[in-house]
């Protein structure tokens, strides 16, 4: 039996942000309609190495897609010359269980997470949003901003990061794919004066204070993806309409996990899941004055729909290597 192998260069040649946004939005819709099987992601925590390893299985019942992603998060990897996040995705036949494709999941993870932010902004940000504030300028910040540029007319981007060289590198990279003004700011407070705020840091203490955020702002909170992580002041969450990607998963590993565990907010303070909005079950933004927060933990359904899109394109274009399994 042969299995198709797709390395990073293969995946990169087959992925683009508009089609990823389309696939991920469909995945959220199916999640909102309860047409998926998706156990909560499981974690192996490596405290002495400041990292973890996660497994993320899912079955899309309507599309008949199933598989699993194995992915790490090691924030110190930059110092080692490695990505913070690396992953492998396997898609399996639902009829026989045989593996169909094994592909690099590192770029795929960045792209589908960025696409989720784009989908969230499409449904939750004000339609006249033009200014983006970025707290953090790593790999994930790049795909977040790229996705926003596909769903909004972005004219100005405010950047905050502690390393000026990283800000310069980010601006140089993104200037090739976006036609807008980039402004570097010395304080987080200064980037919060925006229409859409994106936070992509792995911190365990809030960085963004409630008093810095104006009414009408939409926030994509991306960095908190494991127990104990939080980027936003709980007081800000109490002012906002909170939308999560998955209620169970967000409760133990999303932006809301710490304030929930400390009793600062309750489950009643969480509006709904993004898939319910995409599916038309719940409304999106309800007023221009509303503060909205999308708590993104990253769902296996996002991986499966994106990986399936890559797999189908690879078959059509004859890309990848067939490897003998047995």
Write out the DSSP string of 221-248.
E-S--STT---B-HHHHHHSEEEES-HH
Q: Residue 118 has which token pair?
A: 């784009």
Q: Is 38 left (phi over 0), alpha (psi -120 to 50) or beta?
A: beta
Sign of the CA dihedral 267, 270, 66, 320?
A: negative
The set of residues, in sequence order, having a beta carbon less than 8 Å from that of 215 and lying 6+ positions away, is 289, 290, 291
Cα 148–152–155 angle (5° rounding)?
A: 95
The residue annotated as part of the active site, out of 69, 158, 185, 229, is 69
Active-site residue flag, 69: yes
Query: What span, in angstroms and rounded, lies between the C-alpha atoms of 291 and 216?
Result: 5
Query: What span, in angstroms and rounded, lies between the C-alpha atoms of 267 and 247?
Result: 9
Instruction: State CA 292 to chain mean position distance.
Output: 16
Q: Is 148 left (phi over 0), alpha (psi -120 to 50) or beta?
A: alpha
What positions carry a catalytic annotation? 69
């Amino acid at each position: 039996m042969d299995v198709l192998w797709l390395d990073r260069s293969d995946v990169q040649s087959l992925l683009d942000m508009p089609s990823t946004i389309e696939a991920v939005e469909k995945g959220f819709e199916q999640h909102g309609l309860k047409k998926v099987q998706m156990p909560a992601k499981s974690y192996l925590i490596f405290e002495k190495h400041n990292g973890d390893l996660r497994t993320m299985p899912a079955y899309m019942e309507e599309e008949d897609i199933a598989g699993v992603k194995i992915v790490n998060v090691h924030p110190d990897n930059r110092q080692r010359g490695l990505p913070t996040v690396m992953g492998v995705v396997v898609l399996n036949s639902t009829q026989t269980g045989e593996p169909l494709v094994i592909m690099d999941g590192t770029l795929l993870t960045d792209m589908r997470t960025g696409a989720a932010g784009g989908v969230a902004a499409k449904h939750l940000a004000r339609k006249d949003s033009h200014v983006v504030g970025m707290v953090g300028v790593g790999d994930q910040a790049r795909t977040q901003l790229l996705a926003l540029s596909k769903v909004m007319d972005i004219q100005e981007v405010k950047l905050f990061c502690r390393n000026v060289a990283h800000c310069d590198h980010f601006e140089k990279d993104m200037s090739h794919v976006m036609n807008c003004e980039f402004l570097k700011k010395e304080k987080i407070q200064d980037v919060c004066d925006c229409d859409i705020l994106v936070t992509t840091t792995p911190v365990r203490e809030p960085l963004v204070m409630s008093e810095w955020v104006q009414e009408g702002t939409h926030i994509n909170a991306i960095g908190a993806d494991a127990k104990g992580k939080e980027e936003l002041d709980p007081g800000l969450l109490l002012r906002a309409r909170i939308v999560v990607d998955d209620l169970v998963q967000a409760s133990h590993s999303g932006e809301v996990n710490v304030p929930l565990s400390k009793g600062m907010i309750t489950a009643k303070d969480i509006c709904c899941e993004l898939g319910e909005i995409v599916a038309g079950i719940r409304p999106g933004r309800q007023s221009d004055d509303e503060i909205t927060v999308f708590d993104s933990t990253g769902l296996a359904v996002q991986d499966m729909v994106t990986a399936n899109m890559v797999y189908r394109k690879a078959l059509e274009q004859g890309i990848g290597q067939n490897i003998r399994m047995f």
